[in-house]
Amino acid sequence: MITDLTRRMGLNAPAHPLITLVDYDKVNIDLRDAGNWVELDFYKITFKRNFNGSVKYGPGTYDFKEGGMAFLAPGQLVQMTAEPEDYQGYALYFHTDLLTRYSLSQGIYHYGFFDYKVAEALFLSAKEKLTIEALFEAINVELNNTIDQFSTDVLVSQLELLLNHSNRFYNRQFLTRKNFHHELIANMDKWLTERFNDALVSGLPSPLDIAAHLNVSQRYLSDMLRSLTGKTTQQYIHLALIEKAKMLLNQTDLTTAEIAYRLGFEHPQSFNKLFKQQTRITPAQFRQNML
């Protein structure tokens, strides 16, 4: 529970049993667990204004030098560091039970950044930092008010507003870091081309395969592609696959079944169905049109 966490960190008991906001600039953290890994049973949102520290999440490290935000879902691992400069800014913890009576209990799964990897943290502009800091301050004020029948309503509303702004800023990040993301897409295109040439052995590529190759999370890759191309990772794979199929139909004498097997399909019928879904004609009709 949240109370267990604050006690372990050497902090005062939380004002609300299901949510707490730690302002690292105003507290001293008990570092007896430094170096240990802890599995959190709640959501965690970290906001750093800017400083030269780093925080370890899962297998990697997030560098907060430019300032920004990181998000963790329940069940993820966090390692406490021993460096005092790592404890700056805010850390917001909230239990899933906080959302039980609210639509956010289901809606929170639409915020993909809780499934992003360490290197996919949200980097904020100076203006965005002011917005986020104001939201954290508002949550802090509400937590310091006397709890009444409206407290949870207000806190959940504030939390949802924080998540919506984070979503907006992530979308901005996809657009403003186009060079990085276009390079990512180019690497994906290259890998798909190589994979389709070997699909008879390796099978159809999946979003998991691509994310693992690019060393990004599936959710980040899909959200990035949707923002820049309007397609999910699976839809992008299908488009690339159909283009490869068209080339084989146009430039080789392979039968439709042979092309299906070469592209990694176990059954030619599945290939025919996907091809028609994407082009509105069958592979045989496409070849006839080319002829």
Q: Where are the domains of the chain?
A: 2-174, 179-290
Mean local confidence (pLDDT), 250-266:
90
Lowest mean pLDDT among 21-35, 44-58, 147-161, 253-267: 44-58
What string of DSSP letters covers 32-69? TTTT-EEE-SSEEEEEE-S-S-EEEETTEEEE-TT-EE
Taking the C-alpha atoms of residue 63 and residue 121, their distance in angstroms, rounded to an integer, is: 9
The mean predicted confidence, pLDDT, of the chain is: 86
The answer, yes or no, to whether residue 58 has pLDDT greater than 70, is no
Mean local confidence (pLDDT), 106-130:
85
pLDDT category at 146 given cuts 50, 70, 90 is confident
What is the pLDDT at residue 119?
A: 66
Q: Would you say 35 and 82 are in contact if contact means Cβ atoms under 8 Å apart? A: yes
More confident residue, 201 or 56: 201
Q: Would you say 90 and 51 are in contact if contact means Cβ atoms under 8 Å apart? A: no
The answer, yes or no, to whether residue 178 has pLDDT greater than 70, is no
For residue 248, count CB atoms less than 10 angstroms from its CB and return exposed for 0-12, middle for 13-18, buried for 19 or more. buried
Question: What is the percent of the chain with per-residue pLDDT over 90, rounded to a whole number?
Answer: 41
What is the pLDDT at residue 203?
A: 82
User: How large is the angle between the packed helices 151-176 and 126-143, nearest 10 degrees?
Assistant: 170
Taking the C-alpha atoms of residue 77 and residue 209, their distance in angstroms, rounded to an integer, is: 23
What is the pLDDT at residue 43?
A: 94
Lowest mean pLDDT among 155-159, 195-199, 216-220, 258-262: 195-199
Q: Does the structural domain 2-174 have CATH classification 2.60.120.280?
A: yes
User: Can you point out the beta strands (E) in the chain?
Assistant: 19-23, 37-39, 43-48, 54-57, 60-63, 68-72, 77-79, 90-94, 122-123
Q: Would you say 71 and 114 are in contact if contact means Cβ atoms under 8 Å apart? A: yes
Amino acid at 136: F
Mean local confidence (pLDDT), 225-236:
90
- 179-290 fold: Arc Repressor Mutant, subunit A (1.10.10)
Taking the C-alpha atoms of residue 118 and residue 68, their distance in angstroms, rounded to an integer, is: 12
